Chain A
Amino acid sequence: MSLEILTFSFMQRALISGVAIAILCSVIGLFLVLRRYSLFGDAIAHSSFGGIALGLMAGVYPLWTAYGVSLASGLIITKIKEKYDISGDAAIAVLLSSGIAVGLVIVGISGGFTIDIFSFLFGSILLVSVNETILILSLTGIILIVVLLLYRQLLYSTFNEEQAKVSGIPVEKINYLIVFMAGLTVVTSIQLVGVLLISALFVIPNVTAIMYGKGFKPTAILSISFSIFSVVTGIFISYIFNITPAGTIVLLSIGLFGATMAIKSMGLLSKN
Chain B
Amino acid sequence: MLSVAEIEHLTVQYPDVKALDDVSFTVEKGDFLGIIGPNGAGKSTLFAAMLGLNTKYKGIIRFFGQDIRKSKDYLKEIGYVPQKPIFEKNFPATVNDVVKMSLRQESNVDKIDEILQQLWIHELSQKRIGELSGGQQQRVFIAKALVNSPKILILDEPVTGIDQQSIELFYSILRELNAKQKITIIWSSHDLDAVNQLANHVACLNRTLFFHGESDAFFENDELVKQYSEASMQEHMHNH
Binding site for B on A (CB under 8 A): 34, 36, 152, 155-156, 159-160, 162-168, 209-210, 213-219, 270-272
Please give, as numbers and ranges, the residues of chain A lying within 8 Å of B75 by CB-CB distance.
166-168
With A215-B97, A215-B126 given, is the CB distance from A163 to B92 under 8 Å?
A: no
Please give, as numbers and ranges, the residues of chain B lying within 8 Å of A152 by CB-CB distance.
100-101, 103
Is there contact, CB below 8 Å, between B51 and A210? no
Nearest 6 interchain pairs by C-beta: A219-B92, A215-B94, A156-B101, A166-B80, A168-B75, A272-B131
Is there contact, CB below 8 Å, between A210 and B102? no
A170 and chain B: residue at smallest CB distance: B72
- Which one of A164, A166, A270 contacts B78 once the chains associate, using CB atoms below 8 Å? A166
Q: Does B53 interact with chain A (Cβ within 8 Å)?
A: yes
Please give, as numbers and ranges, the residues of chain B lying within 8 Å of A210 by CB-CB distance.
90, 92
Other than the known A152-B101, A168-B75, A209-B92, what 13 A-B pairs have Cβ atoms closer than 8 Å? A155-B93, A155-B101, A160-B86, A162-B53, A163-B144, A166-B52, A166-B78, A167-B101, A168-B76, A215-B94, A216-B97, A272-B128, A272-B131
With A155-B101, A156-B102, A215-B126 given, is the CB distance from A270 to B131 under 8 Å?
A: yes
Interface size on B, residues (CB 8 A): 32
Please give, as numbers and ranges, the residues of chain B lying within 8 Å of A34 by CB-CB distance.
88, 91-92
- Which one of A163, A165, A215 contacts B96 once the chains associate, using CB atoms below 8 Å? A215
Q: Does B87 interact with chain A (Cβ within 8 Å)?
A: yes
Is there contact, CB below 8 Å, between B128 and A270? yes
Is there contact, CB below 8 Å, between A165 and B53? yes
Is there contact, CB below 8 Å, between B92 and A167? no
A217 and chain B: residue at smallest CB distance: B97
Q: Does B89 interact with chain A (Cβ within 8 Å)?
A: yes
Q: Which residues of B from 36 to 84 have beta carbons under 8 Å from A?
A: 51-53, 72, 75-76, 78, 80, 82
A160 and chain B: residue at smallest CB distance: B87
Please give, as numbers and ranges, the residues of chain A lying within 8 Å of B93 by CB-CB distance.
155, 159, 215-216
Interface centre among B90, B101, B131 (most CB of A within 10 A): B101
How far, in angstroms, from A272 to B93 measured CA to CA in the complex? 11
With A168-B72, A216-B92, A219-B92 given, is the CB distance from A159 to B98 under 8 Å?
A: yes
Task: Give, as a whole number of angstroms, the nearest-CB distance from B134 to chain A.
Answer: 15
Is there contact, CB below 8 Å, between A167 and B88? no
A165 and chain B: residue at smallest CB distance: B53
Binding site for A on B (CB under 8 A): 51-53, 72, 75-76, 78, 80, 82, 85-94, 96-98, 100-104, 126, 128, 130-131, 144
A159 and chain B: residue at smallest CB distance: B87
How far, in angstroms, from A159 to B88 measured CA to CA in the complex? 8
How far, in angstroms, from A102 to B144 measured CA to CA in the complex? 47
Please give, as numbers and ranges, the residues of chain B lying within 8 Å of A156 by CB-CB distance.
101-102
How far, in angstroms, from A165 to B101 measured CA to CA in the complex? 12
B92 and chain A: residue at smallest CB distance: A219
How far, in angstroms, from A217 to B144 measured CA to CA in the complex? 19
How far, in angstroms, from A217 to B94 measured CA to CA in the complex? 10
Please give, as numbers and ranges, the residues of chain B lying within 8 Å of A271 by CB-CB distance.
131
B90 and chain A: residue at smallest CB distance: A210
Task: Give, as a whole number of angstroms, the nearest-CB distance from A14 to chain B.
Answer: 31
Please give, as numbers and ranges, the residues of chain B lying within 8 Å of A217 by CB-CB distance.
97
Please give, as numbers and ranges, the residues of chain A lying within 8 Å of B98 by CB-CB distance.
159
Please give, as numbers and ranges, the residues of chain A lying within 8 Å of B91 by CB-CB distance.
34, 159
A151 and chain B: residue at smallest CB distance: B101
How far, in angstroms, from A163 to B48 measured CA to CA in the complex? 11
Is there contact, CB below 8 Å, between A272 and B85? no
Task: Give, as a whole number of angstroms, the nearest-CB distance from B83 to chain A.
Answer: 10
B75 and chain A: residue at smallest CB distance: A168
Q: Could you jot down 11 A-B contacts, CB within 8 Å?
A: A155-B93, A156-B102, A159-B87, A163-B85, A165-B52, A209-B92, A213-B128, A214-B94, A215-B126, A216-B93, A216-B97
Is there contact, CB below 8 Å, between B130 and A163? no
Is there contact, CB below 8 Å, between A215 and B52? no
Task: Give, as a whole number of angstroms, the nearest-CB distance from A175 to chain B.
Answer: 15
Please give, as numbers and ranges, the residues of chain B lying within 8 Å of A213 by CB-CB distance.
92, 128, 131
A271 and chain B: residue at smallest CB distance: B131
With A216-B93, A272-B89 given, is the CB distance from A163 to B126 under 8 Å?
A: no
Task: Give, as a whole number of angstroms, the nearest-CB distance from A54 to chain B.
Answer: 37
How far, in angstroms, from A211 to B97 measured CA to CA in the complex? 17
Is there contact, CB below 8 Å, between A215 and B76? no
With A167-B102, A215-B128, A272-B128 given, is the CB distance from A160 to B85 under 8 Å?
A: yes
Task: Give, as a whole number of angstroms, the nearest-CB distance from B139 to chain A.
Answer: 15
Please give, as numbers and ranges, the residues of chain A lying within 8 Å of B52 by CB-CB distance.
165-166
With A219-B92, A270-B131 given, is the CB distance from A159 to B53 under 8 Å?
A: no
How far, in angstroms, from A168 to B52 measured CA to CA in the complex? 9
B106 and chain A: residue at smallest CB distance: A152
